[in-house]
Amino acid sequence: MAIDYRASGVDIDAGNETVRRIKLLAKSTFTPGVLSDIGSFGGLFALDGGRHKEPVLVASTDGVGTKLKVAFMTGRHDTIGADLVNHCVNDILVQGAEPLFFLDYLATGRLSPDVAEQVIAGVARGCRDNGCALLGGETAEMPGFYADGEYDIAGTIVGVVERSKVVDGRSIVPGDVLIALPSAGLHTNGYSLARSVIFDLCGFAVDTVVPELGTTAGDALLAPHRSYLRAIRPLLDAGLVKGMAHITGGGMTENLPRTLPDGCAAEVDRRSWMVPPIFTLLQTRGGIAEDEMLRAFNMGVGLIACVDASSSDRAVDMLSGAGEQPIRLGRIVAGERDVRYVNHS
């Protein structure tokens, strides 16, 4: 009996339809630097030679982890793409870079043009919001590798920063001040543990309204990953930032030391911010130890900037004026590169 590619699980027509839809979404993100169309073997992007004397490219690749499982459970696929872009934007932002272009990789067992369009629509929205071009990507149909209805998505971002303005933490010294910006929820980390508590231990369904959260379990877990680009850019332009940390996998405990030079430690006041209800619920219902919470989740802190003590009031005022709720999180002290949690009254 004759067999074709479609009978083996790969639908070329569905792939072509998906590409057709994605082209329209991608074009809505194009910036003046884009020189190619979607469908080329590679994406072309021209740097603006007049903007930087010594441009340094900054690149990062990431995914959204098992937050995807919540999207599958709810049937909502329009937010995951923006989560991915914002996560990647923050990862290069902490080195002072602004995004230029983004590439996505979407892999699935059986390609659904409708689902793929929802996912990439989120990617395109995230790119537009951050002034970043969706330059290209790959959509892979892999029958037998992913279960029906499931997919994975990852992305690569490339940004640029003037060499003299790279933020690398080298100038951080004891006495500097830590200023944090709130997260919007779990962002894209800790979902394996969170799903275990919410769905297995608590027995909630995605549409269960959880009184402590004031929303459904699904909506709480799908809360978007924030981009901090617009909030932080004025501080970067003013030269106030010495170092930054994006609080992702590993929490504050693992990520904050990544921006510290030798001889410096971070002293974080645990009473300086209010932990959002989602984390309190997870800790209480799951019986999770405090140190584990601080390593698994962001605990309501999405990004931390280190500034000179003499500039801290100005930085806080700038963030507040932009509609943010900055947190005076703590300070830099002499010591090993670690985080020391204290409880100041």
Q: Which domain holds residue 261?
A: 177-342
Same domain, 154 and 194: no
Q: Quick check: is 39 in a domain?
A: no
Q: Which two tokens stand for residue 309?
A: 């003590």
How confident is residue 125, by pLDDT bands cut at 50, 70 and 90? very high
The answer to whether 218 touches 183, Cβ cutoff 8 Å, is no
Give yes or no for a contact between 235 and 305, defined as CB atoms under 8 angstroms apart: yes
Dist CA 285 CA 281 (whole Å) = 6
194 and 266 fall within a common domain = yes
Using the predicted structure, report yes or no on whether residue 4 has a pLDDT greater than 60.
no
On whether both 237 and 269 belong to a single domain, the answer is yes
Q: Do 338 and 189 share a domain, yes or no?
A: yes
**17 vs 257, more confident:** 257
Lowest-pLDDT range of 104-113, 237-246, 264-273: 104-113
Neighbouring C-alpha atoms within 13 Å toward the C-beta of 47: 16
Number of domains in the chain: 2
The domain boundary residue, chosen from 105, 138, 165 = 165
State what percent of residues in the chain have pLDDT above 70: 96
Answer yes or no: do 229 and 331 share one domain: yes
- Of 79-93, 142-156, 161-175, 290-304, minimum mean pLDDT range: 142-156
Chosen domain end from 165, 192, 223: 165
Q: In this predicted structure, what is the pLDDT of residue 3?
A: 56
In-domain check, residue 190: yes
Check whether residue 98 and residue 242 sit in a common domain. Answer: no
User: For position 98, what pLDDT does the model report?
Assistant: 97
Nearest to 67 by CA among 164, 215, 191: 191
Q: Are residue 182 and residue 160 in the same domain, yes or no?
A: no
Q: In this structure, are 232 and 323 located in the same domain?
A: yes
> Is residue 111 situated within a structural domain?
yes
- Give residue for tokens 């884009």: 34
CATH (domain of 154): 3.30.1330.10
Q: Do both 193 and 76 map to the same domain?
A: no
pLDDT at 5 > cutoff 80: no
